Amino acid sequence: MKTHNYKVFKCFSRKFKIGGVEPPPYVKLIFAKYSGGGTHMGPAQFRRFLAEVQGQEGCTVADAERVMEEVARRRHNHIGLTEHQSCALTLDDFFHYLLSDDLNQAIKTQVHHDMTAPLPHYFIYTGHNSYLTGNQISSDCSDVPIIKALLTGVRVIELDIWPNSTKDDIQVIHGRTLTTPVTLIKCLRSIREYAFIASPYPVIITLEDHLTPDLQAKVAEMVTQTFGDMLYYPESGCLEEFPSPESLKYKIIISTKPPKEDVEAKRIKGKENSSPRERDICEESSQKEVSDLLAELEAAERESESYEYEENSTSDGRSGQSETPKYKLLITIQAGKPKGGLKNALRVGSNKIRRLSLSEQALEKAAASHGTDLVRFTQKNVLRIYPKGTRVNSSNYKPMLGWMHGAQMVAFNMQGYGKSLWLMHGMFRCNGGCGYIKKPDFLMKKGPCREVFNPKATLPVKTILKVGVYMGDGWSLDFSPTHFDTYSPPDFYTKIHIVGVPADNTKRKTKIINNNWFPVWDEAFIFSLTVPELALLRIEVREHDRSEKDDFGGQTCLPVSELRPGIRSVPLFDKKGEKYKSVRLLMEFEFL
């Protein structure tokens, strides 16, 4: 190893080492056990390790050999493989395998949920204002964040569509703000190109429609010409049950509120034409204070939410459609707007399915007073939750409350930041990252008296999860030598959180390992879980700083239901959710 001397103020010098990491004590013990105390582990011995420690009971010797050959190719290809190297692992080979997150993944990486149930049986990876590049007030509107969202597996794209300044075309813009527009056709073409690269399962476009009937007809033309056979809509004009994700592979679905009849359309047209005047308002708003813009956003939010509860007299059939019948026909998931209060909004009809949208505040109120009604509603219908309008910096809210009540579309600002977004990223690592997660059975079942899951109920412990945190590696490769501390190696510690139903929420923390780029903690924690199906394991590494706020060293979030037992490599991500090239933890998971 190379020794560096750093002099500080010419008063003292401190020595520290930078070099490669070696296997921690526990890994040496495991290797010794399964190699029979020898210097090499053969295929039969490695297969036994995979079966007994990693939980891969169906693994064969041939399977073990294939992994061993890949490890040998990666580690020894530059000097050529010998027969001996191809059929046995040294301690360093074994350690290399354990730290390889592609060979030794912490979670299941394939689609393995039943994908043949109706759409409301799934949590769906959902974006909010998917076209915004930054904040909600003054950022650019673009197809770039839409493309990025699709490439990360997001399956619901939201577009706010408004008339352009000359009222002869459609633009995507966050109305009543300073955001700059992008054309609808550009967004649609990008969706067509990138929709199914990350996942074959359906992409849903939710339209926040502020158009006149003639422009709605133009949207219908754009959509049908852009997507062609990719576009799915029911030819009968109505659905009694949503199709399954499996049956909708490689399909585009439109969801919005159906247009009103002539009289209502004229009323809305007059109202909308008199209020937004996007370009004029943008020019006038440039002189406004931020507080005025916030007030406008809050008013628009209330208007949107109240509009969701209006009754649509033409949503039950296809008759009497003198205006834009083609546009109506293309709407597969209709936004529900029943009259009355929340209780009536959540009423489940026998032959009428719809989507209902609630703000994060409205969800909190509904959960407090109508929790089981929400669960019952989401067994057949679609519930969408969206951020409150005052989140102008594109921050997000806690998603678990929506999932606990069966909400399929917990809509997030994907261009945002923060721990809530880390949870969203982690949740949708489920099921191979395909963007659809089969909801737990308890959210879909009815009891003998038609009772449903009560999110407020106190439940017994169902699973005990043991989490071992052995060591970390990769910071010396991904960060500069002085990133964490100018004069010494970093002092890392790891925080472990369980995020789930309130009874399961807890956190633990390892000891601090001082002055080491390759910290070895060798600690284990026990978590008792009442609803493991919804639990997320949030992991964050920090670097202890005695004088300032602790530095960020990486994070990840893993769905507990997807964890693979055994000693696993866990790659870490930066604050934006981008994966580090080298930083990872060596951890162990065990269900007791």
DSSP string of 274-335? Answer: HS--HHHHHHHHTTS-HHHHHHHHHHHHHHHHHHTTS--TTTT-SSS--S-HHHHHTEEEEB
Domain contains 43: yes
User: Measured between alpha carbons, how far is 274 from 361 in angstroms, rounded to an integer?
Assistant: 29
* Percent share of the chain, pLDDT over 70: 83
Whole-number Å distance between alpha carbons of 73 and 249 = 37
pLDDT(58) > 80: yes
Assess contact for 304 and 356: CB atoms under 8 A. Answer: no
Q: What secondary structure letter does DSSP report for 153?
A: T
Mapped onto helix, strand or coil, the DSSP state of residue 185 is helix
Q: 3-state secondary structure string, 354-368? A: CEEEEEHHHHHHHHH
Tens of pLDDT, residues 407-445? 999 999 999 889 999 999 999 999 999 999 999 999 999
Please write the tens of the pLDDT for every residue from 82-114: 554 457 999 999 999 999 999 999 999 999 999
User: How sure is the predictor about 323, in pLDDT bands with cuts at 50, 70 and 90?
Assistant: very low
Q: Is residue 405 located within the same domain as residue 536?
A: no
pLDDT in tens, 160-209: 999 999 999 999 999 999 999 999 999 999 999 999 999 999 999 999 99
CA-CA distance, 506 to 295, in Å (whole number)?
A: 37
CA count, 13 A, side-chain hemisphere, 266: 2
**CATH, residue 585:** 2.60.40.150
Tell me, yes or no, whether 433 and 527 share the same domain: no
- Of 96, 113, 121, 174, the catalytic one is 174
Phi-psi region of 359 (alpha: psi -120 to 50; beta: other; left: phi over 0): beta
CATH of the domain at 172: 3.20.20.190
Task: Please provide the average confidence, as pLDDT, over all residues in the chain.
Answer: 87
Domain boundary among 99, 129, 160: 99
Residue 571 lies in a domain: yes
Structure token digits, residue 402? 């929506």
52 and 174 together in one domain: no
**233 and 149, same structural domain?**
yes
DSSP 3-state of 182? strand
Helix, strand, or coil (residue 502): helix
pLDDT score at 22: 87
Does residue 318 share a domain with residue 195? yes
CB neighbour list of residue 302: distance below 8 Å, 6 or more residues apart: none
What per-residue confidence (pLDDT) applies to 108?
92
Average pLDDT over residues 280-293: 43
- In this predicted structure, what is the pLDDT of residue 287? 41
| 96 given a catalytic annotation | no
Among residues 332, 115, 357, 382, the alpha carbon closest in space to that of 227 is found at 332
pLDDT-wise least confident of 91-100, 217-226, 237-246, 568-577 = 237-246
- Joined together, the tokens standing for residue 65 give 């050999």
Domain holding 75: CATH number? Answer: 1.10.238
In a domain, 490, yes or no: yes
- Which DSSP symbol is given to 89? B
61 and 164 co-located in one domain: no
* One domain, residues 404 and 510: no
Residue 330 near residue 220, CB atoms below 8 Å: yes
Residue 344: pLDDT band with limits 50, 70, 90: confident
pLDDT confidence of 353, banded at 50, 70, 90? confident
- Mean pLDDT value across residues 383-403: 96
Give the pLDDT confidence score for residue 235 in this predicted structure. Answer: 79
Residues 150 and 234 in one domain: yes
Res. 396: pLDDT tops 90: yes
Please, which pLDDT band fits residue 295 given cuts at 50, 70 and 90?
Answer: low
Helix ranges (DSSP H) in 90-196: 91-99, 144-151, 184-194
Displacement of CA 455 from its chain's centroid (Å) = 22
Residues 365/345, Cβ–Cβ less than 8 Å: no
Which residues lie across from 438 on neighbouring strands?
122
Q: In which domain, by residue range, is 515 found?
A: 459-591
Which pLDDT tens digit goes with each residue over 484-511? 998 999 999 999 999 999 999 999 999 9
Cα four-point dihedral sign 438, 439, 442, 446? negative
Q: What is the percent of the chain where pLDDT is above 90?
A: 76
Beta bridge partners of 73: none
Let me know if residue 221 belongs to a domain: yes
Contact 424, 154 (CB under 8 A): no
Let me know whether 533 and 578 are in one domain: yes
pLDDT at 153 over 70: yes
**Which residues are bridge partners to 552 per DSSP?**
542
Instruction: Please give the residue that has the higher pLDDT: either 570 or 240.
Output: 570
- In order of 26, 39, 71, 74, 432, the CA distances from 67 in angstroms are 21, 18, 6, 11, 21
- pLDDT of 150 higher than 60: yes
Confidence of residue 547 (pLDDT cuts 50, 70, 90): confident
Predicted pLDDT of residue 13: 35
Residue 11 has pLDDT above 80, yes or no: no
Known catalytic residue at 4: no
Q: Is residue 180 part of a domain?
A: yes
Same domain? 248 vs 139: yes
Same domain, yes or no, for 466 and 436?
A: no
Q: Predicted confidence band at 40 (pLDDT cuts at 50, 70, 90)?
A: very high
How many residues can be counted in the chain?
592
Q: How far is residue 215's CA from residue 67's CA, in Å, rounded to a whole number?
A: 58
pLDDT of residue 291: 52
Say what the pTM is: 0.87
In-domain check, residue 112: no
Strands ordered across the beta sheet of 355-359? 355-359, 382-386, 409-410, 122-124, 436-438
Q: Give the count of domains, the chain.
A: 3
Question: Of these residues, 96, 121, 128, 425, which one is catalytic?
Answer: 128
| C-alpha distances in Å from residue 464, one per residue of 35, 130, 208, 591, 592 | 30, 38, 44, 6, 5
Q: Is residue 255 part of a domain?
A: yes
Domain co-membership, 435 together with 515: no
pLDDT of residue 76: 81
Q: Would 16 be classed as within a structural domain? A: no
